Amino acid sequence: MRKAKEKVIEFFFSLSGAITTLVTLLITLFLFSEGWALFRAPVVEEGYALYVHTDNRINALSVAQIKQIFDGEVTNWKQLGGEEGEITLFRIDDIFALYEEEEFGEEYFLLPQKLEEVIASSPNILAFLPKKYMHDKSNYFYEVATGTISLKDFFASTAWMPTATPAPLYGALPLVLGTLLVSFIAILLALPLGLGVAIYLSELASLRVRKILKPAIELLAGIPSVVYGFWGLVVLVPWVQRLFDLPVGETAFTGSVLLAIMALPTVISVAQDALSNTPLAVREASLALGATSWQTIYKVVIPYAKSGLSAAVVLGIGRAVGETMAVLMVTGNAAVMPTSLFESVRTIPATIVAELGEVPMGSTHYQALFLLGSILFLFTLIISISAEVIARRQHRGVL
């Protein structure tokens, strides 16, 4: 009977592990499949296309060229390798200023004909129009080739403008760099303080002080991130603004300080456990040889626990990289290339939480956000694997 119960329990645990693994694998596959679909999407907004006169020899435009044209940076076809002529931009709404309502016929039956007339009369036109109103073949215009979104467009572009027309811009580089900048500075701030507190709790504090401080520090890890964010917005942001005489206090530095505070409980807890695992015999041997308490700490205890301390650092980074709400509230949420700690930035988690609820399912914007999630997944996966490797090294060292 006892063996039967053990078999049932063993089967239950095995089934739970299999289900958990399968669900995790399916979520991961869904995440990457949704994101990778972005590279099959057209550059121009879905359902629309760019059209030029048949006399125009420019038959293809890149994302950068489209942006330059519609931003007014490029105004002549000659700048793109074509014939001399001022580029005339035309959108579907412009047609209603050229014709009376009744000229389009019933249910806009004559709208395609009117659009063709406009393009035929404008050799230098660049028309951004819905495909459903354009003929597949015409003697007066043709569709400009724009291709699909490429890896370079996503990973190397510096502009994140998902609502831009006619070509949305999904440059993830500012978001990736913003995430790495805020997380890196946060861990630089949290590491010395966290290790200092861990050494104090493990080696110097009395038992009474340790019993009070240890639970209090671990309690900080349970505070919701939105509470940290609200505190940062009300207290930290004005303080940073006044201290550094900045126009706004929502900066990368503010986000780093807040993330450092949030990462401290993790760093302190893991580091203190690693230091406490140093055998008493090692400490006593060092003291017996004439070393002082401080010499024992930094020449014996810390080197012995270095794998555990490294794990504390890695886990602290993981806490900082994946944070969402607090960072969203205090960094300014500006998707620009970070050039200074005292400028607004935007991180990957903040971008996802701010935009995902407002995008149509299956759109290129939706796919781009899933691809950002894939990047964040890879970041956290690397951090988790690093922590596991470090923890195993520490375990082998103890054995």
Please report the pLDDT score of residue 61 as a whole number: 92
CATH classification of 172-396 is 1.10.10.10, yes or no?
A: no
**Does an H or E element contain 212, and which?**
helix 207-220
User: Cα dihedral angle (136, 140, 143, 144), rounded to 10 degrees?
Assistant: 170
* Neighbour count for residue 11 (Cβ, 10 Å): 10
- The superfamily (CATH) of domain 48-147 is Periplasmic binding protein-like II (3.40.190.10)
Please report the pLDDT score of residue 212 as a whole number: 85
* Weakly modelled stretches of the chain, pLDDT under 70: 1-2, 387, 390-399
Kindly report, residue by residue over 261-293, the tens digit of the pLDDT.
Answer: 988 888 888 888 888 888 888 887 888 888 878
Please report the pLDDT score of residue 125 as a whole number: 94
Please name the residue that has the structure tokens 């249910």: 107
Please report the pLDDT score of residue 123 as a whole number: 92
Please report the pLDDT score of residue 396 as a whole number: 57
Please name which of 44, 143, 128 lies closest in space to residue 87, comparing C-alpha atoms: 128
Distance between CA atoms of 31 and 371, rounded to whole angstroms?
A: 7
Please report the pLDDT score of residue 69 as a whole number: 93
pTM confidence score? 0.85
What does the angle CA 211 – CA 213 – CA 219 come to, to the nearest 5 degrees?
A: 105
**Does an H or E element contain 128, and which?**
strand 125-130
